[in-house]
Amino acid sequence: MNHFEAKGGALCCEAVPLERIARDVGTPTYVYSTATLTRHLRVVQEAFAAVPTLVCYSVKANSNLAVLKLFAKGGAGFDIVSGGELERVRRVGGDTRKVVFAGVGKTEAEMVAALKAGILMFNVESAEELEALSRVGRQLGVAAPFALRVNPDVDAKTHRYIATGLKTSKFGVPFDEAMALYARSRKLEGLVARGLDCHIGSQLTDTRPVREAMTRVGGLYRQLKAKGFPLTHLDVGGGLGVTYTTESPPGVADYARAVIEPLKDLGATLVLEPGRVLVANAGVLLTRVLYRKQTPAKHFVIVDAGMNDLLRPALYEAHHDIRAVAPRKGRARTVEVVGPVCESSDVLGHARRLPPVAQGDLLAIMTAGAYGMSMSSSYNSRPRPAEVLVDEDRARVVRTRETFTDLMRGETA
């Protein structure tokens, strides 16, 4: 469900024609729908209403302040992975007591900032990190609340770059070592065990690995409680997939069942870290056709957005539907939609059937709200796109297009 629909032959975001946004703000531009964002958060919260749950939006998926503010207002907490993300949460007045901090490489400075901000817990990913957190807790004279992120060794059956729960992954501590590490934490000052954490991967389309991982971590949680660790929170990570093309991920209710059933008797507050499912289809990347070029092998449509603006196709061979904003009549043809960046991998859509397009036409790259702008760069010295948030019939620029001054900020010749 999303709020990008054709009305009178032209694609709109809620009640705003994308053509109007392109005219007023230029291209390339990310466009987000308030109604889709708020609806998705509510659907996830409601699916877990039967058990105590805290939904911590995974900031890395889309870290625009306006998006964070909507989620903060909707009662969400936040899953962060850096001091920069913590600062974003603070800037929008997010409740730092609802923040969980993950990542294999937190610096001590980041730990200090998060501890001072009073976050819910650190999801610790190694023995050495636990020692560092203990040092920081001692220095500040407080007990740093932590969960160990365990690696449940299940195959999430997702792209190898975004599967995180296998033994070979850099994430988490090996399942069998977790108990010993919790035991060790008792001897370290400046720490308090608050939870247990796992995350098996992203773009999950099958509930079986989820259920399997929950069963494993649920068992460990029970053992830890039996040994007297004062755990209150079980963080189940994020990862629920969305439909980019032919995937059929479980609905939120099915996902909720797979999570809740193995865990419902634990008495734990569940922490969820959804990213993609909340924001992916709430956003599109709006781009304009610069040129067409026919070679003996292919028809190219060259647009003004590139892999620096949306990296997913180049990095993961990810598929994003591409739609003409005002489709022309005529015979569809198979084209390569490519960007201006000097790399052969700068292909936004490979072998796409599109209606006829002409120079100046607008295309919408769909389902680009997650890991789009947040993974963008200025490679090829391309200023990064603007971002626009639509709310019913209003469109508001929530990040201005980068200027050349922004591009070279801090550089000296």
Binding segment (CB under 6 A) for ligand LLP, from list 11-19, 40-48, 232-240, 255-263: 232-240
d(Cα 104, Cα 82) in Å, to the nearest integer? 10
Catalytic residue among 13, 56, 198, 342: 342
**274-294 burial string, b = 16+ CB within 10 Å, else e?**
bbbbbbbbbbbbbbbbeeeee
Residue facing ligand LLP at closest CB distance: 275
Residues 103, 58 contacting (CB under 8 angstroms) = no
Given 3, 106, 276, 320, the residue binding ligand LLP (CB under 6 A): 276
* 202 lines the binding site for ligand LLP (CB under 6 A): yes
Chain residues 106-125 in contact with ligand LLP, contact rule CB under 6 A? none
Residue 60 DSSP symbol:
G
d(Cα 329, Cα 311) in Å, to the nearest integer? 31
Residue 49 DSSP symbol:
T
Strands (DSSP E) found in 211-356? 233-235, 269-272, 283-294, 299-303, 322-324, 333-338, 347-354
Given 85, 153, 212, 273, the residue binding ligand LLP (CB under 6 A): 273
Binding segment (CB under 6 A) for ligand LLP, from list 27-35, 180-188, 197-205, 385-393: 197-205
Question: Residue 373 Cβ, how far from ligand LLP at the closest point, in Å?
Answer: 11
Q: Which residue has the tokens 């289809």?
A: 281
Chain residues 67-86 in contact with ligand LLP, contact rule CB under 6 A? 79
The question of whether 342 is a catalytic residue gets the answer yes
Binding segment (CB under 6 A) for ligand LLP, from list 126-134, 183-191, 233-241, 341-349: 233-241
Half-sphere exposure of 404 (CA within 13 A, CB side): 0
Beta bridge partners of 293: 300
Binding segment (CB under 6 A) for ligand LLP, from list 195-203, 322-330, 360-368, 380-388: 195-203
Backbone angles phi, psi at 367, to 5 degrees: 55, 45
Measured from the CB atom, the residue of 33 and 58 that comes closer to ligand LLP is 58
End-to-end CA distance of the chain: 50
Reduced to 3 states, what is the DSSP secondary structure of residue 233? strand
Q: Is the dihedral of CA 90, 94, 99, 103 positive or negative?
A: negative
Measured from the CB atom, the residue of 285 and 324 that comes closer to ligand LLP is 285
Given 37, 68, 102, 314, the residue binding ligand LLP (CB under 6 A): 102
Measured from the CB atom, the residue of 190 and 239 that comes closer to ligand LLP is 239
Measured from the CB atom, the residue of 94 and 238 that comes closer to ligand LLP is 238
Question: Residue 99 Cβ, how far from ligand LLP at the closest point, in Å?
Answer: 13
Given 65, 162, 397, 398, the residue binding ligand LLP (CB under 6 A): 162
Reduced to 3 states, what is the DSSP secondary structure of residue 20? helix
Measured from the CB atom, the residue of 59 and 301 that comes closer to ligand LLP is 59
CA distance to 163, 210, 259, 317, per residue, from 155 (Å)? 8, 9, 16, 20
* 237 lines the binding site for ligand LLP (CB under 6 A): yes
Structure tokens of 376? 């963008």
Kindly give the residue spans of alpha helices, DSSP state H, lying in 290-401. 312-316
Structure tokens of 363? 């295309």
User: Site for ligand LLP (CB under 6 A): how many residues?
Assistant: 22
Measured from the CB atom, the residue of 203 and 281 that comes closer to ligand LLP is 203
User: Residue 329: which of 352, 353, 355, 354 has the closest Cα?
Assistant: 355
Beta bridge partners of 287: 363
Query: Greatest CA span in the chain, whole angstroms?
Result: 73
Verify cis geometry, omega within 30 degrees of 0, for the bond prior to 313: no
Binding-site string for ligand LLP from residue 288 to residue 317, where x marks contact by CB under 6 A and - marks none:
------------------------x---x-
Binding segment (CB under 6 A) for ligand LLP, from list 34-42, 199-207, 340-348, 352-360: 199-207
* 323 lines the binding site for ligand LLP (CB under 6 A): no
Contacting residues for 344 by C-beta, under 8 A, at least 6 apart: none
Element (H, E) at 396: strand 394-399
Binding segment (CB under 6 A) for ligand LLP, from list 26-34, 111-119, 270-278, 329-337: 270-278
* 40 lines the binding site for ligand LLP (CB under 6 A): no
* 274 lines the binding site for ligand LLP (CB under 6 A): yes
Given 2, 29, 33, 58, the residue binding ligand LLP (CB under 6 A): 58
* 199 lines the binding site for ligand LLP (CB under 6 A): yes
Residues in contact with ligand LLP by the rule CB under 6 A: 58, 61, 79, 102, 162, 164, 199, 202-203, 237-240, 273-277, 312, 316, 371, 375
List active site positions: 342
